[in-house]
Structure formats: C-alpha cells, structure tokens
Structure 1
C-alpha cells in the first residue's frame, strides 16, 4: 500500500520541522499560504539541522522594500552568507495567497509559484545534508507537503504541541441533531493526524473575536463515497456572508450570499477540487475585497464580498456528506 506524504497543516510561525528521510533527487516540497498585508519579508529555509547556527542550503527570501517585490536566494555555510542571487518581477504581492513548489534536481532547486516556473538555484551545499525546513516572517501557512519521487510518500508528520492529537470540543460549539447525516464509515485517519473522534456533522462553531481581513479558517475532512453535496457557511445575524457548496451531482462548486430569507445570484465558475471518498483541506482566507478559498493547498475560488460588515460574521456552519477531522477557526 502506498504511504501517504509527510504533511503539516496550519503551523505556527516561526516554524521549524524535520524533513523525514531528508532530500533526494525528485523530492518536492509544496508550501501553501498567504502573504500578510504590509509584509516587509518572509523566508523559507532548507537547513542542515535545526539549531540557530545551522548551515542553510537554500534561503528563499521574498522582500517587499521595493515594488513590486523581489526574491533573494542564498546559502549560509560555516557561519557566513554567500553571494546573493536576486530575482526581480516577483509574482506574489503582499496580501496574496500562494502555492510554492520546490523540487530537488541533481544540480539545483527548482522553484515554481502558482503553477509557473520562477527560478532555479544551483546547489552550494549537498542536498543530502538537508534535514530541516524553517519558515519565518510576515506569512501565514496553511499546509506543507513533502512528496518523494514516483509519488511515494513519507510517514506522517508527528503531532506538534500547538495542535494536540485529540481535538477538544469547547463549550461554545453546539452540535445539532445528526438525523439524516450519518458519519462516513470506514475512513482511515488523515495524513498527519492519528485516529481520533470526528467532529459531528452538522457542525456549528462560534467565531470568537472580531472577524476581519487576514482571518483564516481551515477545515480537514473526508468526502463520503456516495456524497451528493456539502456546504460551509459563514453566518451573521441577518444571513449568510459566504455559502460555499460543492455539489457532486452537478460537478460544480456554488458560491452565494443570503440576505434574510433571500438568496443572491449564484457563482458557479471554476474547478471542482473535491472528490468522493477522498480527504481534503479547505482554507478560507479573508481578504479586503473577497474571500480567497484554497482546496488542498491550491487556490480554487475567489468570492467578492457582498456582505461587507465583516465584523458581524460570528458563526461557522458545516453540513452535508462529509466527515470532519479538524477545524481551526
């Protein structure tokens, strides 16, 4: 049976983690996240150890001290930085979501951003010495995935102290009647998460604090094998600001807003990134003018705000033909 890739979801920043098995030719690292508005810089390091003086084989460092931004790539070895390599025309402005793919070749690291090749950085330190990834700066990360050549996976990333293996069920979460939505039977735990009780569906949770630009909501779950549809709603006292509704019988993801008892016009364009019987990660990023939705770490949909009083959004609601493993509000 094929092993699952090593993965980590919603790590706290700064983040340092071990790369199980180290690097090899063909191995890739996919980092999905969001550059904070007003960011000055952030970095992704591939390191030879986790201590503060460890050699850094690849320092990937987007900077925003001049527009439209640029990337510095470098190596730190024997206590000294090498000669910087700079790449201009960086296609990742502040406030944007991104998908960074780093692939190891025999001669270099190949960097791909949002599906397009960005730059190559030739090895100055043998990649066989790299065993650690570190991320810091003005960035939020929704997922990190390590994939071996030929799609062979890695053992799951060990549970971190910030996210205990057993989810807690806070008192402000209510669990409506489950009638009509039995749990999906027989699903193994998602990568990186030990076997644990699932959140009940339908699921509701209070969104504590003021909902505002920059807020991330991440849901890990599995679509039932015979699923028809599921929905994720961001509710306010007068209706629904975002109704996100994958429909498998129509092979479409519907987005909409509800004012009182009245629905607006639906948006139906874009991909269907969810599949029956498959696990998924859904991340909703609140931007100034829209919700940016990532599915499995990849940008999927953008939905412009129709309800603009974001501070009134107070409840997350999930319903339909899925099981839920983790919710971060």
Structure 2
C-alpha cells in the first residue's frame, strides 16, 4: 500500500457524530523518541487555531492534548496510557461526541478531551511529525 505524504493535510467539515480514522506506524523505533501530532485546525492554514491537538510522544510514553486560540496554547492535558507498540501499525480513531472527543487506538478507548472550541469550526486536519501513514479517513 502506498504511503501518504507527511505532513498530511485534509480539508474537512466536522460535526457531532463525525470521526477521523488514521492508520499508520511510527517512522522510527521508539528508542529514537519519535512523536506524532494530529491537529484539528479552525482555519485552512497551519498557523490557524487548533480545536484539538493530539500529540503522542512514543519514546517517553506520553500523550498531550490541548487547544490553541489566537496563537496561545491552553492548559495541557497529559496521559501516560500508551497503547501504541514499537514497530506495530496502529489505527487511531477520533470520534466527535456532543461534549468531547473520544480517542481509541486499535479499537480500545484510551483518551477523552472536552471541547474547548466548537468542533463545527474545524476546517482542516493535519497529521505530522515522525509517522508513516497508510490512510486518513474522515466520516
């Protein structure tokens, strides 16, 4: 299967009931401290606001979730739950619910993040950093 370009961007329109499914693998061994970031942008440029930032630090086993409004980052929410496995492919599913995002990895619910910015304002999804992508599907 052909790999998608990274950084990968896709123009979207999200609403309650939408989901973003990302399939891929870390582009390097976890011992090299790779990371992956998924941003739900409120504009069509990478410097726009971010309604949801999901960043995985594979090596240190940490996930950080946040928002960015007016160029200013909010308070980080962190987790040390690490369902990603070194050298293994993953399926990341971010579901838009009425009050929060639910994030599952390989069909296991792992994280949640309350909306700070209306998900209907999301116009672009970007997936980037040290990741190889095989698909990104918005439904």
> Common fold, TM-score beyond 0.5?
yes
When the two chains are superposed, the root-mean-square deviation of aligned CA atoms in Å is 1.3
In structure 2, the partner of 1:200 is 5
Partner residue of 2:89 out of 279, 283, 306 = 279
- 1:275-322 CA deviation, whole Å, 9 max, x = no partner? 2321000000000000000000000101000112x2210101000111
Bigger share in strand: 2
- 1:145-181 CA deviation, whole Å, 9 max, x = no partner? xxxxxxxxxxxxxxxxxxxxxxxxxxxxxxxxxxxxx
> 1:250 deviation in Å?
2.3
Whether 1:312 and 2:136 are equivalent positions in the alignment is no
In the alignment, is the contact (CA less than 8 A) between 2:92 and 2:105 conserved in 1? yes
Return the index of the structure with the highest Cα Rg: 1
In structure 2, the partner of 1:230 is 36
> Structure 2 length normalisation: TM-score?
0.88
Unaligned runs of 5+ in 1: 1-195
Q: Distance in 2 between matches of 1:325 and 1:211?
A: 21
- 1:213-270 CA deviation, whole Å, 9 max, x = no partner? 0001101101123352110111102400110001023210110111121111111125
- 1:161-214 CA deviation, whole Å, 9 max, x = no partner? xxxxxxxxxxxxxxxxxxxxxxxxxxxxxxxxxxx211011110111xx42100
> Structure 1 length normalisation: TM-score?
0.39
Unaligned runs of 5+ in 2: none
Higher relative contact order (CA 8 A, sep 6+): 2
Whether 1:303 and 2:113 are equivalent positions in the alignment is yes
Correspondence list, 1:30-45, <5 A = none
Moved over 4 A (4+): none
Correspondence list, 1:147-296, <5 A = 196-207=1-12, 210-227=13-30, 228-237=34-43, 238-296=48-106
Give the paired residue count.
131
